[in-house]
Structure 1
Amino acid sequence: MIAINNLTFEIGSRALYDEANWHIKPGDKTGLIGANGTGKTTLLKLIVGDAKPTSGTISMSKDIKIGYLNQDLLSYQSDKSILHVAMEAFARQNQLHTEIEELLKKLETDYSEDILHKLSDKQHEFDALDGYNIEFKAHEILAGLGFSEEDQKRQLGEFSGGWRMRVMLAKILLQAPDILLLDEPTNHLDLPSIKWLETYLLAFEGAIVIVSHDRWFLDKVVNRIVESRKGKLTPYAGNYSFYLEEKALRGEIQKNEYKNQQQKIKQEEQLINRFRAKASKAKLAQSRIKMLDKMERIEDVDDENPSVNFSFRFSKQSGRHVIRIEDVSKAYPSNVILEHANAVIEKGDKIALIGANGRGKSTLLRIIAGVESFEGESITGHNVTQTFFAQHQLESLHLENAILEELQAFAPKHTDTELRSILGSFLFTGDDVFKKIKVLSGGEKSRVALAKALTADANFLILDEPTNHLDMASVNILIQALNQYEGTFIVVSHDRYLLDNVANKIWFIEDHQIKEYPGTYAEYEEWQSKRPVVEAKPQIAAPKKEEKPVKKASPTEDKSKQIKKLNQTLQQVEDKVAELEKQLADAELVLGQEETYQDQKKLAAANQHYQSVKTELQAYQADWESLAEQIMELE
């Protein structure tokens, strides 16, 4: 499909890739991994032609269709609705639709055979390209990525960068490419949307290359890993967990080979030193020297899993109850978050707060932190000292400080060695610690703010998306740090690997209440999958709208009787809508279950059932609107 041969790419005097090779085959689902700065994003740009290699080749068939999601798409602007933007994926269908409209207009005055033949040809091609279903497909993809029907009518410019990226992802998926190149696709998605994307990618028949730091996502989706390291591309036939096992095994073999070679080199050097001074052995010594020079040296295995070697300190222990939330209500003009909610955070709790975007996770964290207005009480317990990490904390960094100075001022009880250790964990090594805050990128500032949070004299941590901008090594460091932390914390994150490794309780907001599951994230997922759902079975097609027409009021009937009849029908339709909405929610749960999306037949059946319910629901919703309009006119 795509062959990368002897690829070299240089930036100045540095070779990002040095004669690297990789063949992408049809159906491969590959995770492209590596530390920050090893050229993963650059490689995707080389594949699509946005960058040119210094030497080597990247070859592919001429008709291959590539879908490329990259962070540059955030700059795309449009005053069109997001539904319209997503439907731009259907370039030929849209062109045909315009031409068909023009021909239909001409037919109003010109009935020539030429116009009729052209119209027939265009309509035939439009039908062959499934043009009549493109709007439905766009609705389906956008809904999966978290956009409501109302959202889809809004202009692209009304949405934040993260939501705009979702629209771009929808547009790419609708293009049905032969290969998808996805650069950090989960960065701007909440957990339900990530699960939906997992289901979609598992059913995707083309090849996929994903750059991601989300190891849970990679384990679910990919069947091979390619590691970008030291200018080379090394393949592993399995998901991320298999890669870790296989790499550890390869590393052990390489380490033994390195030790054996070093021992041999040492012995040869001793022989050379012994015989070099003797004239009779000089020729033998020279021969040994040449042999050593020609020897292909085996590299030692680098330690790529740095460990946390600093201790967390807080000067006082908290009481048993850290936070008590009592009768708390919080609502925005268009969104009720909490309604008379109650919850308790106890000493030693490690809580993961999860849920879809817009459900109020960050709002609840701000309520707990005491920086958000609300009704009710949030009572802080005895001796509780807290620190709050959120993305806006970047604004509190002192721009003129060096990185190390920023931590020294914030955590004076820690030694410079300890501070440099934690900074090293977050990729600030050597002289990097003397860089001014003002010259750092947004991601680097985020890492400094997180390092500050972890050095605070606090026995209660509130962490809002702490893994943003962190690579896998840094996420592992954060996991180690939180596991060593003896205080209490609550964390919001879409990194399920982190959540599963640090949390002992799961919180989620449901029916405007704070619900709790007492266990790990993996246990919560299993429990969630067993909650009552409608079994996904193939369903007969939903009745067509004309088969259940809304009864029009007879002009001869008394107006009050008409209204009464219409209201009765409206109530029946409302009941049916509620029933179908429940069925649709249950069908979505089935689609998100691991046993469904790992079985292609089950996935196909579940998708068919979901679409059937959705189509029937839309028909009944349209009937409800028609009935409501009639009642309003009569009243």
Structure 2
Amino acid sequence: MALVSISNLGKYFPENKIFEDLSFSISENEKIGLIGKNGSGKTTLFKIIAGKIEPSKGKVHKAKNISIGYLSQKFNLKESGTVHDELIKMFTHLNEVYEKIQKVSLELKRDNTKKAELQNLMDKYERLGGYRYETKIKQVMGGLNILQFKDRKIRTLSGGEKVRVALAKVLVQEPDLILLDEPTNHLDLKSINWLGEFIKKTKSAVFLISHNRYLLKNSITKIAEIVNKDIKIYRGNYDFYKKKKQNDLEYRKKRYKKQKKKVEKLKAYIRKYKAGNRATMAKSREKMLEKISLIDKPGKFEYNVELNFNNFEDSGNDILKINSLDVENLFSIKELNVFKNDKIGIIGKNGCGKTTLLNTIIDGNKNISYGKNLKISYFRQNLDFFDEDIHMVDYLNEKYFLDEDEAREYLGYFDFSQDEAFKIIRNLSGGERARFKLLDMILESPNLIIMDEPTNHLDINFLEVLEEGLKKFKGTLIVVSHDLFFLKNVINKLWFMNNKKIKEIKYDVEKFLDNFSYTSTSKKTMTNNSSKKDYKKQKKQRNRRKQMKRRLKVYENKIENIEKSIKELENKMQNNHSPNKLEELYLEKEKKHKKLLDMMEKWEYIKEKLD
């Protein structure tokens, strides 16, 4: 059944036509990835589906009583509340049902006719997930790595932490349709993996805007691409989309070349015979030419840019030497070296100190030795510029002494049109700021590039352009990223930050990333260089894991037995007519339910430790 049907949808702003005549549908349990260039209207489409804005034309038909959860790039959280408060608010309807159950239970002592009403309320409470919502909240908080600060006030959280709370609010509801707009931007690898599994397993339909190719490959079954103000559907995951798109491109190239040859032949005939004795036939061919519907040149709507970072003065062979570095109780480094042409990726949990490490390198430290003739350029997460209140042309003039024509030529190369070249930097979108920052870096001519989450605001097409530019870069690169596809395409060495230490992976980096389980203590991640580890320590860890697995099994059996007991109590309540006995059974069921939650919490704790 279609949850949402869209027909001939269009959205226009005074200065821009975003898209027109979009037609497609979203069915129950479908998992769809929405892609397209920055500015193509992906977020606008989500806002229309969510009912936040109205379309300029066309219709959006939604199934009756449909529930929609929407994670936008702007979210609304109550600053004075706690993280747990925000999530509990999603279940106020259950509290209302529970209060009615309590009220009717008391009335049942005086009025035996209330039994049916009580049973209906209890059935409704169970059907709505009343006995599971606390467990669901803990599972989602654990998956998104926010369980440890569930009692903190929203106002004390960082921007990234607030994004994760907003995402959790959407996921705990499991509505009929979930709209997620770039949900991975502030997630670490473990949380991205968890989100991917959630998307695959949830009964909700999911419509996802993302540049994360891991999710689009492993969790999505259909790709929708907005291109040239229209939408095209590919009935497969990202790999299928790439293959189909390449085949389509080859087919369109052949058609374009064939038509171009035909047009040129007609024009040549017309030029040759227009004034001669074959003028009538030339006129006929002019009419034929007018009737031909010209095919757009393939690739017209892709980025026509190649990032060249290689206009730099060479550095020495030794880039950085880090010795005995302890930083803010986050991590310690005994010894790490960076050499010329190293392309190092840094991964680790949120909060482990990845950005702090980059900032320490940039700011300087007595425990870091810097090589000769280094020219460093830093791509920060916040994409800062020395002046936010001037337009891009003036920025390039002030920093690099480019005249207007030169600046506009560079900006055009980075997909900024003539009018867009005069946009104030403060008013640029995330994707525009990222593209402008990359232009800024290229003009700086660094031989050491340091990047902190460079993929966050780029669409997939430009992300692939960046990958190609960094692969061809002949200098040195240090990059923090949660995007495995990006890392595998770019780096040749890996720093894995875990348990306040940094493990260097020099060989089989791609294999390590392929096998990486996204968890902090995965058995797979411990195999690299395992021969150097102490045998007794390994044996102790294995024994501890065995003990934890046995405990996990015990908790699973207890949970299963408690759930059976609750079911038996519910059956007894259905067949009992005594108010006193009903109240007794109800109270016993509540005790069992609390015990179930306690067991679930213990099970989750052990499971997280094992992971």
Question: For this structure pair, what is the TM-score category when the shorter chain's length is used for normalisation?
Answer: 0.7 to 0.9
Residue in structure 1 matched with residue 532 of structure 2 by the alignment: none
Q: 2:516 aligns with which of 528, 535, 555?
A: 528
Shift of 1:135: 0.7
Distance 2:403 2:243 in 1: 36
Matched, 1:460 2:448: yes
Matched, 1:299 2:288: no
Count of equivalent residues: 542
SS at match of 2:74: helix
Shift of 1:129: 2.8
Amino acid at match of 1:469: H
Distance 2:56 2:515 in 1: 53
Residue in structure 1 matched with residue 218 of structure 2 by the alignment: 220
Residue in structure 2 matched with residue 377 of structure 1 by the alignment: 367
Residues 505/403 of structure 1: CA separation in 2 closer, same or farther (3 Å cut): same
Shift of 1:353: 0.6
Q: 1:406 aligns with which of 382, 387, 395?
A: 395
Shift of 1:204: 2.2
Distance 1:496 1:520 in 2: 14
Q: 2:22 aligns with which of 12, 20, 25?
A: 20
Residue in structure 1 matched with residue 359 of structure 2 by the alignment: 366
SS at match of 2:231: strand
Amino acid at match of 2:444: A
TM alignment of 1:294-373, pairs within 5 A: 294-303=291-300, 304-308=302-306, 310=308, 312-318=310-316, 320-331=317-328, 336-339=329-332, 341-370=334-363
Matched, 1:502 2:490: yes
Residue in structure 2 matched with residue 232 of structure 1 by the alignment: 230
Matched, 1:83 2:81: no
Amino acid at match of 1:523: K
Amino acid at match of 2:51: G
CA RMSD of aligned residues (A): 3.5
Residues 48 and 54, structure 2, Cα contact 8 Å, conserved in 1:
yes
Amino acid at match of 1:81: T
Residue in structure 2 matched with residue 60 of structure 1 by the alignment: 62
Shift of 1:391: 3.4
Distance 1:500 1:450 in 2: 20
Q: Residues 86-133 of structure 1: CA distance to partner in whole angstroms, max 9, x if unpaired?
A: 1323343122123345567x669x845477765554334323433122
Q: 1:615 aligns with which of 599, 602, 607?
A: 602
TM alignment of 1:41-190, pairs within 5 A: 41-73=43-75, 75-101=76-102, 111-113=110-112, 119=118, 121-148=120-147, 150-190=148-188
SS at match of 1:131: coil
Q: Residues 398-418 of structure 1: CA distance to partner in whole angstroms, max 9, x if unpaired?
A: 245542443455456x99998
Distance 2:599 2:339 in 1: 46
Q: Residues 233-252 of structure 1: CA distance to partner in whole angstroms, max 9, x if unpaired?
A: 11112222322221122122
Residue in structure 2 matched with residue 626 of structure 1 by the alignment: none
Amino acid at match of 1:45: K
Q: Residues 168-187 of structure 1: CA distance to partner in whole angstroms, max 9, x if unpaired?
A: 22222222222222111112
Residues 514/424 of structure 1: CA separation in 2 closer, same or farther (3 Å cut): farther
Residues 19 and 229, structure 2, Cα contact 8 Å, conserved in 1:
yes
Amino acid at match of 1:496: L
TM alignment of 1:533-552, pairs within 5 A: 539=553, 541-542=555-556
Shift of 1:280: 9.0
Residues 452/276 of structure 1: CA separation in 2 closer, same or farther (3 Å cut): closer
Distance 1:434 1:187 in 2: 28
Q: 2:386 aligns with which of 375, 381, 397?
A: 397
Residues 427 and 474, structure 1, Cα contact 8 Å, conserved in 2:
no
Residue in structure 2 matched with residue 427 of structure 1 by the alignment: 415
Distance 1:441 1:163 in 2: 21
Residues 146 and 164, structure 2, Cα contact 8 Å, conserved in 1:
no
Q: Residues 369-390 of structure 1: CA distance to partner in whole angstroms, max 9, x if unpaired?
A: 235x7xx712223333323332
Distance 1:514 1:428 in 2: 40
Residue in structure 2 matched with residue 591 of structure 1 by the alignment: none
In the superposition, the TM-score normalised over structure 2's length comes to: 0.78
Distance 2:46 2:297 in 1: 30
Shift of 1:54: 2.9
Residues 199/417 of structure 1: CA separation in 2 closer, same or farther (3 Å cut): farther
Residues 251/443 of structure 1: CA separation in 2 closer, same or farther (3 Å cut): closer
Distance 1:418 1:172 in 2: 47
Shift of 1:616: 3.9
Residue in structure 1 matched with residue 41 of structure 2 by the alignment: 39
SS at match of 1:72: coil
Residues 7 and 18, structure 1, Cα contact 8 Å, conserved in 2:
yes
Q: Residues 575-608 of structure 1: CA distance to partner in whole angstroms, max 9, x if unpaired?
A: xxxxxxxxxxxxxxxxxxxxxxxxxxxxxxxxxx
Residues 213 and 471, structure 1, Cα contact 8 Å, conserved in 2:
yes
Residues 542/252 of structure 1: CA separation in 2 closer, same or farther (3 Å cut): closer
Shift of 1:34: 0.9
Residues 315 and 340, structure 2, Cα contact 8 Å, conserved in 1:
no
SS at match of 1:388: strand
Residues 30 and 210, structure 1, Cα contact 8 Å, conserved in 2:
yes
Residue in structure 1 matched with residue 471 of structure 2 by the alignment: 483
Residue in structure 1 matched with residue 590 of structure 2 by the alignment: none
Distance 2:141 2:361 in 1: 33
Residues 342/192 of structure 1: CA separation in 2 closer, same or farther (3 Å cut): same
Residues 33 and 208, structure 2, Cα contact 8 Å, conserved in 1:
yes
Task: Using the aligned pairs only, state the percent identity.
Answer: 31
SS at match of 1:68: strand
Residues 309 and 445, structure 2, Cα contact 8 Å, conserved in 1:
no
Q: Residues 192-211 of structure 1: CA distance to partner in whole angstroms, max 9, x if unpaired?
A: 11111011112223322211
Residue in structure 2 matched with residue 388 of structure 1 by the alignment: 378
SS at match of 2:294: coil
Residues 19/517 of structure 1: CA separation in 2 closer, same or farther (3 Å cut): same
Residue in structure 1 matched with residue 425 of structure 2 by the alignment: 437
Amino acid at match of 1:139: K
Distance 1:312 1:406 in 2: 22
Residues 90 and 174, structure 1, Cα contact 8 Å, conserved in 2:
no
SS at match of 2:451: strand
Distance 2:406 2:483 in 1: 27
Residue in structure 2 matched with residue 246 of structure 1 by the alignment: 244
Unaligned 5+ runs, structure 1 = 548-610, 622-635
Shift of 1:360: 0.7
Residues 255/71 of structure 1: CA separation in 2 closer, same or farther (3 Å cut): same
Q: 1:194 aligns with which of 192, 203, 206?
A: 192
Residues 94/425 of structure 1: CA separation in 2 closer, same or farther (3 Å cut): farther
Distance 1:101 1:225 in 2: 48
Amino acid at match of 1:341: K
Amino acid at match of 1:615: K
Amino acid at match of 2:125: F
In the superposition, the TM-score normalised over structure 1's length comes to: 0.76
Q: Residues 336-365 of structure 1: CA distance to partner in whole angstroms, max 9, x if unpaired?
A: 312453222122211001111101101111
Residues 64/435 of structure 1: CA separation in 2 closer, same or farther (3 Å cut): closer
Q: 1:472 aligns with which of 447, 460, 465?
A: 460
Distance 1:441 1:205 in 2: 34
The higher relative CO (CA closer than 8 Å, separation ≥ 6) is in 2
Unaligned 5+ runs, structure 2 = 518-523, 527-541, 562-597
SS at match of 1:455: helix
